[in-house]
Amino acid sequence: MPRFEARRKLTILAALEKGPKTTREIAEDLGVPEKYVSRYLLHYRRQGLVKKTVLERIGRGRKPFLWELTKSGKKRLEWLKDQGIKPFKKGEIAKKKKREKKT
């Protein structure tokens, strides 16, 4: 797994380490757009690293949901940390991604 991808995965999984959060909360914590976080959460869900819990709807619109780590997600998070991989700081993912596109 390339270093950037490992750091991104660690950063997103670490955002859920203290408990369930919405996509918006994770995006705000990381300083990136919700769309970016949502894309990777769906990917990590297919890998069995995260799961979503649908909450009761309040008013109109879509049902809100929370993301949380699965057992596999917690194990992967610990493994990434054991490899010495450091999470990105707030907003750092977006800066790295822009730099990567320029080259």
CATH number, domain with residue 66: 1.10.10.10
Residue 74 pLDDT level (bands cut at 50, 70, 90): very high
Domain assignment present for 51: yes
Domain that holds residue 56: 3-86
Instruction: Assess contact for 22 and 65: CB atoms under 8 A.
Output: yes
**Number of domains forming the structure of the chain:** 1
Domain assignment present for 91: no
Domain assignment present for 15: yes
Write down the pTM of the prediction: 0.79
Cα–Cα distance measured from residue 69 to residue 99, given in angstroms and rounded to the nearest whole number: 30
Domain assignment present for 95: no
Domain assignment present for 93: no
Residues 24-34 have pLDDT tens digits of 999 998 888 99
Cα–Cα distance measured from residue 26 to residue 102, given in angstroms and rounded to the nearest whole number: 26
